[in-house]
Amino acid sequence: MKTTKKVSSHVADAATDTSNKGKVSSFARFFADDAKWQPAVAVLFFVAIWVLLGFYESALLRRTESLSLFVFDTTFYNSILSVPAGTLSLVGSFLVQFFHNPALGAAIYVLLLYAVFRLTRKVFDVPAVCTLLALLPVVALLASNTQLGYWLFYLKMPGYYYMALLATLLSLLAMWAYKHMGNVSRLLLVAVWVVAGYPLMGVYALASSLLLALYGVALSARRKEKKLFPAVTLVVTVLLVLFIPRIYYNLCYNSIAIEDVYMAGVPVTQWNFAIVEKVEYLTSSFWHNIYLYWVPFVLLLLSFLGFVLSYAFRCNGHCSVKVTRTVTVAVLLLAVCFGARFWYCDNNFRIENKQNIAIWDEDWRAVADYAKDCDEPTRQIILNKNLALLKLGRAGNEMFAYPDGGVLPVSPLAVHMTHTDGSLIYYNLGRFNYCYRWCMENAVEYGWRHEYLKSAVRSMLLSGEYKLAERYINILKKTMFYRGWAREMEAYADEPALVGKNPALAQPLKYTCYNDILSVDDVVEKYVMDAIDANMTGEQSSKAYLSSLSGALAAKDSVAFGNSMELKQEITPEFIEASLVMALIKKDSKRFVAALNLFIQDYIKGVDMKDPKSVKQLPRHYQEALLLFLTLDKGKTVQVGEEFLNAFVSRGPGGVEANFMKFQNSVAKTRDELRKTYPYMTESRLNAVIAALLKKEFGNTYYYYYFFVKKIMTY
């Protein structure tokens, strides 16, 4: 029995070993077969790209779509087709629409990239061991789009996102047809490709025709045919490429410059003459080198040139498979690293796009929450966040609980907020004329876009310009994804009384407490703050009001208390709080007191003077600012008594006043310790160290912002 058990156990072990060997061998066989594992890796690559674009960069795709336009209208078609490469631009504009649904739009884009991969393999007969090399053009095409960043707002080329991709697909199809033609037919194809292709594809037709001619030379070399006719074809192609664009320029196209005729279809003029922002601490950034925007296009051209040459001089099986496979994998890894390096991943840019979408969706909580996800925000992020907190009624308690400061956008361009989200800021703060003004100016410079049209419609509706609103509504009714929104706005244009029944649409009207007269507004944030400040009560009346209110509280005088509650009816509570927020940002004690004057008048409505305890304490940041300015100004700006502070300020243990005292002591103590330890430290460096040490405990207070948040760069 023991012998039988031993034998059976050995048999079982042997069976297990055989099974494991079978699994290992099948795994090894899979990776030994390049025809299986390399296409599988390619498919995984495309799935990863779809996930990244459709979900990780979903906000970017939606913003790309909102900054494009496709209208089912012959006038629109004719305007785009009036320049070389207009057909690519028109079809690209149509496809960009589907980014409205990021997952769907990304799927269409990735499927077209996959078609490039498959056609590249087919046209150049790429061996199985080199399959992954066919991803090189795909990486280049992807990088040409993912590198854009803030160029998204400034490109004057509708459908740019798809233009190079569509041109590559058409060129590969032409090469596939060219491959199966005779010499005479090839010459005719190249001639037709240049003559008929230039209006359709611009520079892509010129480049692909040269590749076609070179491909003909490669085909004759590979097939050991006579090379005279392919050489003649190449010479004819070069001559056509030199002269056809100029002929078209003289006969057909008068809306482009002569120096652009050979590069029609790529934003060469914009990239070469971009306004470079001179920011000392950002000049070393990779994204400030304007010439790097050409690298993906150079890689695209070189990859196809490499395929053409390798097709002619292929080693025909004499090369080591192991070496070829190793080189293929190495080149692919380098290409992936290249693609990752050219993927614009600035977190502030991504947050701005997310906030923009949330603002259009009226999701103000999301707008504020997104602002928490950055370390050094741009002023655009902060303006959006403050606007959201104003809408939610949380500004007075939370606006300094978020990352603050203000860095410039990472871009070779001098980015201006008027070109990004300035019109949205103006609209939501009741500056409808300015909103419309920048919609028009941007449309003149960069062409009409969905976002501009929607902003123009809303601003004109709330301005009472219903006929003008209908003009833009009629355009949006011809789009694919905004016709429903346009019909909804049309109902408000037909019956303006309905606007008041839509709280979200009517809400900006609460900020229209000033003259909406156009003037210079180069910097959105500065102009908004100045415009609001100009409509606030002066310093002296503010001081008098707060003093009288303080006296009324001390005397428990109901008549005086009631008289102090008189508020100008034309100024709304929403506008008053916006002015408070702007005064805090500007660190302006006079404007703060003027705004606080009006804020408290509204704040104490309904308070029973016989019970002063019923007075609610001010929002936290307003308390902090009041205590700070009382300390700094020593009664010059505002004079209030103890009763006023007892009523409106948290003065107990753990309250705002106690925290302010703790902050002052901490600053003094930390400064003394640092001076003793580092006696030669400069004042600016000393303040920076103190700010870093105290940020965790006091970084969410107004007095920390007042003393330590410096060098705010708006744009």
* pLDDT value of residue 248: 92
Which ranges in 421-506 belong to alpha helices (H)? 422-428, 432-446, 450-463, 466-476, 483-494, 503-506
Least reliable range by pLDDT among 438-447, 473-482, 601-610, 638-647? 601-610
pLDDT in tens, 452-473: 999 999 999 999 999 999 999 9
What rounded mean pLDDT belongs to the chain? 85
CA–CA–CA angle 31, 34, 38 (5° rounding): 85
* pLDDT value of residue 216: 87
| Contact (CB, 8 A) for 163 and 171 | no
CATH code for 348-395+402-509? 1.25.40
Average pLDDT over residues 589-607: 81
Angle separating helix axes 620-633 and 656-677, nearest 10 degrees: 60
With cut-offs at 50, 70 and 90, classify the pLDDT of residue 638: low
Tally Cβ neighbours within 10 Å of residue 555. 13
**For residues 506 and 508, what is the distance between their CA atoms, to the nearest angstrom?**
6
Q: Among 438, 480, 488, 481, which Cα is nearest to 459's? A: 438
- DSSP letter assigned to residue 282: G
Average pLDDT over residues 256-281: 70
pLDDT in tens, 143-181: 999 999 999 999 999 999 999 999 999 999 999 998 888
At residue 544, φ and ψ (nearest 5 deg) are: -65, -40
- DSSP letter assigned to residue 399: T
Higher pLDDT, 547 or 37: 37
Task: Flag whether pLDDT at 609 surpasses 60.
Answer: no
On the CB side of 581, how many CA atoms lie within 13 Å of its CA? 28
With cut-offs at 50, 70 and 90, classify the pLDDT of residue 280: very low
Task: Flag whether pLDDT at 567 surpasses 50.
Answer: no
* pLDDT value of residue 96: 98
Task: Flag whether pLDDT at 109 surpasses 70.
Answer: yes
With cut-offs at 50, 70 and 90, classify the pLDDT of residue 607: low
Per cent of the chain over pLDDT 90 is 55
3-state secondary structure 382-437: HHHHHHHHHHHCCHHHHCCCCCCCCCCCCCCECCCHHHCCHHHHHHHCCCHHHHHH
Domain ranges of the chain: 1-32, 33-341, 348-395+402-509, 531-649, 659-708
| Contact (CB, 8 A) for 435 and 307 | no
pLDDT in tens, 499-551: 988 988 999 999 887 766 777 776 777 777 776 766 654 443 444 445 444 54
On the CB side of 3, how many CA atoms lie within 13 Å of its CA? 0
* pLDDT value of residue 685: 92
**For residues 399 and 577, what is the distance between their CA atoms, to the nearest angstrom?**
12
* pLDDT value of residue 231: 87
* pTM, two decimal places: 0.88
Task: Flag whether pLDDT at 42 surpasses 90.
Answer: yes
* pLDDT value of residue 560: 40
Q: How far apart are the first and last CA of the chain?
A: 90
Task: Flag whether pLDDT at 328 surpasses 90.
Answer: no
Residues 654-667, buried b or exposed e (16+ Cβ, 10 A)? eebbebbeebeeeb
> What's the token pair of residue 325?
């496979």
Give one DSSP letter per residue of 650-691, joined into a string: --STTSHHHHHHHHHHHHHHHHHHHHHH-TT--HHHHHHHHH
pLDDT in tens, 182-223: 888 888 999 999 999 999 999 999 999 999 999 888 888 777
CA–CA–CA angle 678, 681, 686 (5° rounding): 100
**For residues 276 and 171, what is the distance between their CA atoms, to the nearest angstrom?**
35
Least reliable range by pLDDT among 283-287, 404-408, 493-497? 283-287
Q: Among 485, 435, 429, 426, which Cα is nearest to 460's? A: 435
Give one DSSP letter per residue of 68-95, joined into a string: ----S-HHHHHHHTTSTTHHHHHHHHHH
**For residues 657 and 649, what is the distance between their CA atoms, to the nearest angstrom?**
7
Cross-strand partners of 276: 413
> What's the token pair of residue 478?
């011809």
